[in-house]
């Protein structure tokens, strides 16, 4: 009986140690501090300037395993996909993104083939589903870049005030990283960390321009680099850039208001054929089934879809006014 209690105590202690070990492993790999450090490393390794790609840090891994890493490195333009993930603020790696694309392609393609018994239909729908993660990442990138653009004038004003108060440029960058909201605070925090780690200012600023793919950030970077070479009042330059960005955003807002009617008309014209087709299918399914049962109907549907895509692209270009 005493041996039984000893075994229970040992098992209990072993269970506690196992739980503690699992928690320590999770906290070291997926905990808040590990996520914060990984995010900062992702930001600082996204640029491409300086020694061996522009960072004194090791290049960010594209995959967890060495074999997958070597396979991905053989693919063309793979680093641009990696930079796209960083610009979108995504926590996915390139290998995870491609795995998600492959799973969607295979799953949707097989289901579409089973329901339609048409290999081409399964292949087409699978390809569309496989590209959805990339479209979502691109959309997240544009949303994040727009938020940074809206925050950039205030950040430049803060930098200018800090320099007028006697702070160095790196001190102003630190203040912007601490006082500005995300996502622009994270970008300035990455610049400050790179400067602290010994990366030259030129490389740190060029890395910032690589991570933030908007023209106004590039103007800011070029202004800082030119002022570093030639001298001048950098605080005044930053004030002019922030004022220019604000005026451009005001004009862009007016243009969007004036173009809202055209945007609404484009949405109505784009969705109307699908809405009408759905209503007719509910009311008269035999009449609509000819479009995919008869060979001539499939040709008509394909031609109509191609023409609709062309029309949507033309309308999108008409209402998309860049300033």
Rg of the chain over all Cα atoms, to the nearest angstrom: 27
For residue range 247-302, what is the model confidence (pLDDT) as tens digits? 888 888 887 777 777 778 778 878 888 888 888 888 877 777 777 777 887 788 88
**Inside any domain, residue 194:** yes
Amino acid 82: pLDDT: 79
Q: Is the pLDDT reported for residue 38 higher than 70?
A: no
Domain boundary among 220, 245, 270: 245
The percent of residues in the chain predicted with pLDDT above 70, rounded, is 75
Q: Is the pLDDT reported for residue 25 higher than 70?
A: no
Mean pLDDT of 199-212: 88
Residues 266 and 222 grouped into a single domain: no
Look at 62-66, 103-107, 225-229 and tell me which has the smallest mean pLDDT.
62-66
**CA distance linking residue 48 with residue 201, whole number of Å:** 14
**Inside any domain, residue 319:** yes
Residues 315 and 226 grouped into a single domain: no
Q: How many other β-carbons are positioned within 10 Å of the β-carbon of residue 111?
A: 14
**Inside any domain, residue 23:** no
**CA distance linking residue 116 with residue 122, whole number of Å:** 8
- Two structure tokens written together for 229: 């070479």
Residues 63 and 180 grouped into a single domain: yes
Q: Confidence band (pLDDT; 50, 70, 90) for 50?
A: very low
Residues 271 and 229 grouped into a single domain: no
Amino acid 56: pLDDT: 39
Look at 60-69, 154-163, 232-241, 286-295 and tell me which has the smallest mean pLDDT.
60-69
**CA distance linking residue 160 with residue 155, whole number of Å:** 9
Between 215-230 and 119-164, two packed helices, what is the crossing angle to 10 degrees?
Answer: 40
Residues 268 and 321 grouped into a single domain: yes
Mean pLDDT of 83-105: 83
Residues 167 and 225 grouped into a single domain: yes
pTM: 0.65
Residues 68 and 188 grouped into a single domain: yes
Cβ within 8 Å of residue 164, ≥6 positions away: 235
**CA distance linking residue 66 with residue 290, whole number of Å:** 53
**Inside any domain, residue 16:** no
Residue-range definition of the domain harbouring residue 38: 31-245
- Two structure tokens written together for 67: 């074999």
Amino acid 27: pLDDT: 61
Mean pLDDT of 7-31: 58
Cβ pair 122, 113 in contact under 8 A: yes
Q: Confidence band (pLDDT; 50, 70, 90) for 90?
A: confident
User: What is the maximum alpha-carbon separation in the chain?
Assistant: 86
* C-alpha closest to that of 227 among 241, 213, 214, 215: 241
Higher-pLDDT residue of 108, 47: 108
Domain boundary among 245, 277, 301: 245
Domain boundary among 221, 245, 269: 245
Residues 168 and 130 grouped into a single domain: yes
Residues 111 and 235 grouped into a single domain: yes
**Inside any domain, residue 11:** no
**Inside any domain, residue 235:** yes
**Inside any domain, residue 50:** yes
When divided into structural domains, the chain yields a total of 2
Residues 118 and 53 grouped into a single domain: yes
Residues 198 and 312 grouped into a single domain: no
Cβ within 8 Å of residue 315, ≥6 positions away: 262, 266, 269, 270
Look at 39-48, 194-203, 313-322 and tell me which has the smallest mean pLDDT.
39-48
For residue range 51-70, what is the model confidence (pLDDT) as tens digits? 444 443 344 555 555 666 56
* C-alpha closest to that of 90 among 180, 183, 178, 181: 183
**Inside any domain, residue 131:** yes
Q: What is the DSSP letter of 322?
A: -
Q: Is the pLDDT reported for residue 120 higher than 50?
A: yes
Q: Is the pLDDT reported for residue 2 higher than 70?
A: no
Amino acid 52: pLDDT: 41
* C-alpha closest to that of 191 among 203, 179, 181: 203
Mean pLDDT of 197-201: 86
Residues 166 and 275 grouped into a single domain: no
Average pLDDT over the chain, rounded to an integer: 77
């Amino acid at each position: 009986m005493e041996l039984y209690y000893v075994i229970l105590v040992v098992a209990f202690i072993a269970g506690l140690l196992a739980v503690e070990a699992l928690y320590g492993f999770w906290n070291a790999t997926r905990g808040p501090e590990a996520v914060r450090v990984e995010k900062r490393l992702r930001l600082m390794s996204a640029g491409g300037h300086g020694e061996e790609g522009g960072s004194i840090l090791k290049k960010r891994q594209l995959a967890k395993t060495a074999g997958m890493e070597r396979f991905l490195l053989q693919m063309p333009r793979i680093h641009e996909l990696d930079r796209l993930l960083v610009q979108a603020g995504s926590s996915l790696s390139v290998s995870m993104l491609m795995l998600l694309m492959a799973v969607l392609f295979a799953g949707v393609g097989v289901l579409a083939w089973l329901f339609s018994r048409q290999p081409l239909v399964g292949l087409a729908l699978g390809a569309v589903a496989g590209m959805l993660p990339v479209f979502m990442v691109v959309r997240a990138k544009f949303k994040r870049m727009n938020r940074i653009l809206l925050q950039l004038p205030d950040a430049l004003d803060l930098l200018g005030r800090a320099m007028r108060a006697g702070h160095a440029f790196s001190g102003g960058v630190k203040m912007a990283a601490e006082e500005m909201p995300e996502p622009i605070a994270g970008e300035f925090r990455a610049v400050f960390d790179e400067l602290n780690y010994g990366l030259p200012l030129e490389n740190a600023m060029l890395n910032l321009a690589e991570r933030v793919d908007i023209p106004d950030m590039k103007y800011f970077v070029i202004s800082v680099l030119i002022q570093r070479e030639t001298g001048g009042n950098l605080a005044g330059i930053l004030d002019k850039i922030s004022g220019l960005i604000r005026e451009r955003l005001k004009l862009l807002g007016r243009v969007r208001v004036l173009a809202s009617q055209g945007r609404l008309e484009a949405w109505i014209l784009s969705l109307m054929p699908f809405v009408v087709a759905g209503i007719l299918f509910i009311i008269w399914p035999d009449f609509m089934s000819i479009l995919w049962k008869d060979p001539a109907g499939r040709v008509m549907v394909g031609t109509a879809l191609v023409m609709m895509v062309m029309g949507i692209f033309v309308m999108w270009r008409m209402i998309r006014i860049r300033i």
